[in-house]
């Protein structure tokens, strides 16, 4: 079932969903199942699985360093299929522009169609660690809008090099990212909303926001999006603070502001165990307010760990 169908069938009730990251190469998928198991009691209608882009590693050969490309967390589509089979739940693989050609993207989407996966999250992706700015893969997309258009074309039977008249066309429900505090590269929030509108016009069916810690920024973002002509569901993304260094790391990486009350509470903690409790309490308070406002889904960034998400969900669902 599509994400938008789950939202429609909920009839105004806020749903619970979460996002996981694939295990690193060499790890067993059981570790992933162990963190998903405790969250299934809250009946998530869908689970997102991230995609990591390629990165460079350096291998020493005869005293010289040889640069090779690798992916540390491959297997997104396979993991989606495994989770879908094991838990009978819809899965949402993340599809990136970065690191993929248009042909590779088409093959991935065809695999998803074969497996009965009919939700995808279309993202541009980040720049590689050695790049100052994002650079498109040779033969790939530069913008998420173009990726959305390719997925939508496939839904119409239009492949990159063929137009196929078939009854069993793909019917992907397409999610995209939104930024309540604007994308790091956007010159203004208004410009960022213009880009979001372009993604929706290209075929995006719903939006999931980047994490935020001040609900007013989400509410203002949703209102501004409506004024800009964006009328698809906008799902808030929630991440509980877990360690002290998040005070510096999250604003640095995601260019977001943390409320002063939250900063003070974390700074008063003696250790990360106390920080984790502060993060849980803040996320519960934040989520209850969003629930009361009637958000369609509370989407949690679990990063592969479920204990704090389970505590938060227990207070909400």
Of residues 107, 170, 99, 168, the one with CA closest to residue 138: 99
Which among 19, 41, 55, 181 is annotated as catalytic?
19
The whole-angstrom separation of Cα 203 and Cα 103 is 20
Contacts of 245 (CB under 8 A, 6+ apart): none
Instruction: Write b or e for each residue in 190-202: b if 16 or more Cβ atoms lie within 10 A of its Cβ, otherwise e.
Output: eebbebbbbbbeb
The residue written with tokens 């909920």 in the block is: 10
| Beta-carbon count within 10 A of 294 CB | 9
Enumerate the β-bridge partners of residue 93: 49
Task: Write the Ramachandran bin of 88: left for phi over 0, alpha for psi from -120 to 50, otherwise beta.
Answer: left
Inter-residue contact 120 to 91 (CB < 8 Å): no
Q: Tell me if residue 277 is catalytic.
A: no
Specify the DSSP element, H or E, that contains 178: strand 173-178
Known catalytic residues are 19
């Amino acid at each position: 079932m599509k994400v938008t169908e789950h939202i429609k069938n909920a009839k105004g009730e806020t749903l619970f969903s979460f996002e996981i990251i694939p295990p690193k190469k060499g790890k067993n998928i059981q570790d992933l199942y162990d963190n998903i198991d405790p969250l299934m009691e809250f009946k998530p209608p869908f689970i997102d699985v991230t995609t990591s882009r390629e990165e460079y590693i350096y291998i020493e050969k005869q005293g010289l360093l040889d640069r090779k490309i690798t992916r540390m967390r491959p297997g997104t589509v396979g993991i989606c299929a495994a989770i879908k089979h094991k838990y009978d739940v819809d899965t949402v693989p993340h599809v990136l522009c970065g690191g993929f050609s248009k042909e590779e993207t088409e093959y991935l989407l065809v695999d998803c169609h074969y497996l009965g996966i009919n939700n995808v999250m279309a993202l541009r992706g980040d720049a590689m660690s050695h790049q100052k700015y994002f650079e498109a893969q040779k033969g790939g997309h530069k913008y998420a809008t173009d990726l959305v258009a390719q997925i939508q074309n496939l839904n119409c039977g239009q492949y990159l090099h063929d137009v196929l008249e078939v009854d069993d066309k793909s019917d992907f429900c397409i999610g995209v990212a939104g930024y309540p505090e604007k994308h790091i590269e956007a010159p203004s929030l208004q410009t960022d909303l213009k880009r979001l509108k372009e993604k929706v016009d290209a075929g995006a069916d719903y939006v999931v926001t980047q994490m935020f810690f001040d609900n007013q920024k989400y509410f203002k973002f949703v209102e501004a999006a409506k004024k800009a002509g964006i009328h698809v569901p906008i799902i808030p993304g929630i991440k509980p603070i877990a360690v002290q260094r998040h005070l510096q790391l999250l604003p640095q990486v995601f260019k977001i502001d943390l409320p002063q009350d939250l900063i003070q509470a974390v700074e008063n903690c003696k250790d990360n165990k106390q920080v984790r409790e502060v993060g849980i309490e803040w996320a519960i308070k934040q989520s209850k307010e969003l629930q009361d406002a009637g958000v369609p889904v509370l989407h949690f960034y679990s990063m592969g760990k479920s204990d704090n998400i389970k505590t938060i969900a227990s207070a909400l669902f």
